[in-house]
């Protein structure tokens, strides 16, 4: 690089003209050949660098596309699992294999996890859930006295009876909608 600069500096003549300044180079054939070789090597080195970065960019793009495809496949699997779970729970309720409150809670929680089921299409499920969500479950229910558990069951059964017919209709609608897709 220093050699090229020295060649240019030695051979640079500024000619004065009344209208403009003009740069002129006076180079011998050997000097021109040396400058050409130096520039060619620089261009070659830069081309290798650009090629290297292009290959890295292409590889990174391929990896990102593959990762995106994997994520899409996992999301489809998750949605299919939720769809199957919703159908199974709704069928179990319609066939009287599980209690209305349990079906309601499970269906409501699954509907919140997906975007292919609208909350507004199933108002009974959501209103019933709001009425039963405060009841104790799991260990908290076990820790209740028999009288407290009996009182909660009595309230829960009253809520289930109030919503039973409409809940069956909504579960059948849910089964139909999800089975069609």
The whole-number pLDDT of residue 25 equals 53
The strand ranges marked E within the chain are 12-16, 21-25
Per-residue pLDDT of the chain (181 residues; tens, 9 = 90+): 566 556 565 555 444 444 444 444 566 888 889 989 999 999 999 999 999 999 999 999 999 999 999 999 999 999 999 999 999 999 999 999 999 999 999 999 999 888 888 888 899 999 999 999 999 888 888 888 999 999 999 999 999 999 999 999 999 999 999 998 7
Query: Residue 16's pLDDT is what?
Result: 40
Reduced to 3 states, what is the DSSP secondary structure of residue 41?
A: helix
Q: How far is CA 31 from CA 12, 13, 39, 41, 92, in A?
A: 13, 16, 12, 15, 91
Using an 8 Å Cβ cutoff, are 4 and 38 in contact? yes
pLDDT at 5: 58
Q: Which pTM value belongs to this model?
A: 0.69
Note whether 122 and 169 are within 8 A (CB): no
**Total domain count for the chain?**
1
CA 163 to chain centre: 37
pLDDT of residue 54: 96
Long-range contacts of 104-113 (CB under 8 A, 24+ apart): 104/128, 104/129, 104/132, 104/163, 104/167, 105/129, 105/132, 105/133, 107/171, 107/174, 110/82, 110/85, 110/86, 111/86, 113/82
pLDDT at 26: 64
Q: How far apart are CA 137 and CA 172, in angstroms?
A: 26
What pLDDT is stored for residue 13 in this prediction?
44
Q: How confident is the model at residue 85, as a pLDDT?
A: 96
Question: Domain limits at 81?
Answer: 2-180
What span, in angstroms and rounded, lies between the C-alpha atoms of 8 and 24? 10
């Amino acid at each position: 690089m220093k050699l090229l600069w020295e060649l240019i500096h030695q051979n640079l003549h500024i000619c004065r003209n009344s209208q403009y300044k003009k740069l002129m180079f006076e180079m011998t054939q050997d000097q021109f050949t040396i400058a050409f070789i130096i520039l060619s090597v620089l261009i070659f080195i830069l081309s290798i660098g650009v090629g290297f970065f292009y290959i890295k960019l292409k590889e990174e793009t391929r990896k990102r596309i593959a990762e995106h495809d994997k994520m899409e496949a996992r999301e489809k699997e998750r949605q299919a699992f939720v769809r199957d779970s919703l159908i199974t729970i709704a069928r179990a309720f319609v066939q009287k294999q599980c209690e209305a409150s349990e079906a309601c809670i499970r269906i409501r929680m699954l509907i919140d996890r997906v975007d292919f089921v609208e909350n507004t299409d199933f108002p009974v499920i959501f209103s019933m859930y709001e009425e039963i969500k405060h009841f104790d479950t799991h260990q908290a229910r076990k820790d209740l006295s028999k009288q407290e558990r009996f009182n909660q069951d009595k309230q829960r059964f009253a809520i289930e009876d109030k919503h039973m017919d409409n809940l069956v209709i909504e579960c059948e609608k849910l089964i139909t909608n999800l089975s069609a897709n």
